[in-house]
Amino acid sequence: VGHGEVHLRLGMLHRDMGNPEAAVHEWRHLWLEHPGDPAVSMVPDLERTLPTTFVIPPITSEHHYQRAERLYRFNRHREALKAFELARAAAPEQGVSDEVLYHIGTAQYHARENIAAVATFRQLFERAPRASFAPVALLMLARLHLRVEADEAFLDTVQVLKAAFPASKQADEMSYVLGHFHRNRGRFAEALQAFRRVAQRGNRSEFADDAWWYLGWIQYGLRRYRQATQTWGKLLRTFPASPLVPDTLYWQGRAFERLGRRANAQSRYEWLQTSYRQTYYGYLATARLTGLSPWPWEARTVEGDGVVVGTEPSVLEPFPIVPSNAHATRGAELWTMRLFAEAGEELQAVPADGANALLYHRLAAQAFHWVGEPHRALSILRRHSRAAILQAVGLSARDLQEMTFPLGALQRLDGVSLDGLDPRFIGALVMAESGWNPRAFSRVGARGLMQLMPETGHRLAQTLGIHLPSEDQLFDPSLNLRLGIAHVRELLRRFDHQLPLAVASYNAGEQEVSQWWARRGDLDVEEFIANIPFRETRHYVQRVFVYYAEYQRIYRGRRG
């Protein structure tokens, strides 16, 4: 029974016992504090079942604002906007605070209501041009102008921001974004100048290491390979702990190769292989040294009737220890009854500082893994180090690997649903999209394991002849996978079975990726990925391929 169902049933119990005040309290608590729960839709109908003699307390403007803020924090931006509208309508004479106005604008931004968002942030800035929210409002205005390709408005806003708040973090960010603005339009001299200004600020800029990286990348693209190696060398010396070190080492190695300095290139690849082996560039460096690709760049058809990996144990592992507290005792009893989901609930509730807590938490993770709730297993495993789990509780490396990179509901799909795709690749995509959480809900409204937008889900369902009466059905794991796999197949057909293009378009959209691919010139596939303009999409593609390499390693020879 879900959290929302509990509140509904408690309210119905109070109603049936003649206590409508307590019933309303339960239902309103659910409506206010858990507005994203599917059970919320039942609250209005249930309130109408109360005695007609009972006066239901009105929903005030404050209630609507409280609910809107909760929806905003849960990234349910379209629903938050409706709640904000209801709040303002309930008390039109009441002013809106700067913080609420900022949240409304941000929700509009994420809901891609661009015109409305521009108006909101302009109002926020003009209300108090020197107040604390003013630089934030200007930053969001600049982002919106950039999104809709209003270049002059973008440049004007950046100029106002840098003039009015030169020392602000928002001005620092826009100075960095200005470099990308010029780079993406092929104005490389202006881009180099903008990035150099940011890089020279050193530790005073949050974006200095990124700026050094892009200085080198532009030089590499202009075939100034010697300059690129020198620029990236400065980055490595100045920011040795930067997350860009793997990227820098790899592309410095590629630049050395272009210069014919193979020994220098090899030293960079060996550095990556030693210190960053299981990263995207660690895998590419190993491929550079061995000549063996870590993954296919093109989709391959996989024959078979689905994944042949079991989840729930065919032979029950006995509970390995005498329980030491009430939660562990109940967990052991449920374990023996093969009620693994319920056992997991009890075992994960064992206090972290209690005796044998690590063992109980491992058992909870294993129980959730067995019942097909891998996201809950992953949540537990992430609290503990890999070494601690292996040493303290005796879990085999193989079991830990399969729990860390699960196949989840993919195991219930047949070969027809997989449509010839490698389930290990789909597993990598799901891991990157939702971390295997079937209830995942993004700030733009994407739902479920493969983060399908409602309009995409409805279109795919219609194509497959599936009835989809509610958007919340996209939270169903098997249905979400079927629709998501169909979408991946569409993208592969669109991009001639090129996996990087399909993955990039899954994140950024087909139109954007088509434009990037058309402008790629003579870039090879690795250079194309590194050159993706959207940082989120670039990192997403790299993350999917790292996960794919791990899935291939763990489930080698078990494709379907």
**Catalytic site positions:** 433
What are the strands, taking DSSP E only, across 30-113? none
Q: Are 503 and 429 in contact (CB under 8 A)?
A: yes
Cα separation, 521 vs 528, in Å, equals 9
Q: Are 140 and 105 in contact (CB under 8 A)?
A: yes
Cα separation, 497 vs 482, in Å, equals 19
Nearest CA among 509, 503, 463 for reference residue 483? 463
Amino acid at 182: H
Nearest CA among 319, 312, 381 for reference residue 348? 381
Residues 6+ apart with CB under 8 A from 110: 75, 77, 443, 444
Q: CB under 8 Å, gap of 24 or more: what pairs does 384-388 form?
A: 384/358, 388/358
Cα separation, 141 vs 151, in Å, equals 12
Q: Which tokens go with 205?
A: 């800029």
Say whether 54 sits in a helix, a strand or coil.
Answer: coil
DSSP states along 434-481:
HTT-TT-B-TT--BTTTTB-HHHHHHHHHHHT-----GGGGGSHHHHH
Cα separation, 222 vs 220, in Å, equals 5
Quick one: DSSP state of residue 412? G
Nearest CA among 508, 549, 510, 313 for reference residue 422? 549
Main-chain phi, psi angles of 516, to 5 degrees: -60, -45
Quick one: DSSP state of residue 40? G
Q: Are 538 and 530 in contact (CB under 8 A)?
A: yes
Give the chain's radius of gyration (CA, Å).
27
Say whether 192 sits in a helix, a strand or coil.
Answer: helix
